[in-house]
Amino acid sequence: MRLDEDPAVVHREVAGGFTRLVDGAAADSWDAAAPVEGWAARDVVRHLVEWFPAFLQSGAGVSLPAGPSVDDDPVAAWKVHADGVQALLDDPATADLVLSNPHIGDVPLPEAVSRFYTADVFMHSWDLATATGQPHGLDQDAAATMLAGMEPIDEMLRQSGQYGAKVDVPADADPVTRLMGFIGRDPGRAG
């Protein structure tokens, strides 16, 4: 997978991988501890379905369809959300929309979705896989590209509070393992 492809194509693949993990989670695994401190598996889904709609609404005036509560049905909550994002990206009218944010400035909406949201889904796929005991299935080339883009802004990322302290990994580790260590996850806990 190439992260510089059409944002709709990239989202379809990344969100599809997350959907496979959501569908593969055992009913009793939603309360299992996730690699993010204080989170359970359902909180990984909650994070994705709760932060992004507000980001879209405030930055572009775009509303996504609301699904059921993650507490009531994490599978349906994710699917309604992911389908809404995909419909947004598939709509030719969105190509001309701009997302405005005080931290990132004005960015074409499809690019903003790809850079901030789809990348987040990619990284949190590892968290959900780990929490639910499934293989992550993440694309190694995409992980390498993402890591290469994040390393130069390491200090800014740490200051944002969104990433934990780096976790050391072997120098010859695969790109997914290196990415997870970079963002503060313990790759020794991989699912």
CA–CA distance, 145 with 7 (Å, rounded to integer): 15
Please give the pLDDT value at position 189. 63
What is the per-residue pLDDT for 158? 80
Is residue 95 assigned to a domain?
yes
Contact 188, 170 (CB under 8 A): no
Residue 143 pLDDT class (50, 70, 90 cuts): very high
In terms of pTM, does the model score above 0.85? yes
166, part of any domain: no
Evaluate whether residue 24 is within a structural domain: yes
What is the domain range of residue 70?
A: 7-137
Q: Is residue 176 part of a domain?
A: no
Q: Residue 3: pLDDT band by 50, 70, 90 thresholds?
A: low
Q: Are 128 and 36 in contact (CB under 8 A)?
A: no
CATH of the domain at 111: 1.20.120.450
Average pLDDT, rounded, for the chain: 92
160-179 mean pLDDT: 89
Distance CA 181, CA 64 (A): 32
Nearest one of 128, 144, 142, 138 to 178, comparing CA atoms: 144
pLDDT of 81-112, one tens digit each? 999 999 999 999 888 999 998 888 899 999 99
CB 75 within 8 A of CB 67: no
* pLDDT-based confidence at residue 50 (cuts at 50, 70, 90): very high
11 belongs to a structural domain: yes
Answer whether residue 169 is part of any domain: no
Residue 122 confidence (pLDDT) above 60: yes
As a whole number of angstroms, the longest Cα–Cα distance in the chain is: 46
Position 78 in a domain:
yes
Burial 61-78 (b: 16+ CB within 10 A, else e): ebebeebeebeeebbebb
Q: How many domains does the chain have?
A: 1
Degrees to nearest 5, angle at CA 141 with 51 and 110: 40
The answer to whether residue 190 scores a pLDDT higher than 60 is: no
> Considering the domain boundaries, does residue 25 fall inside one?
yes
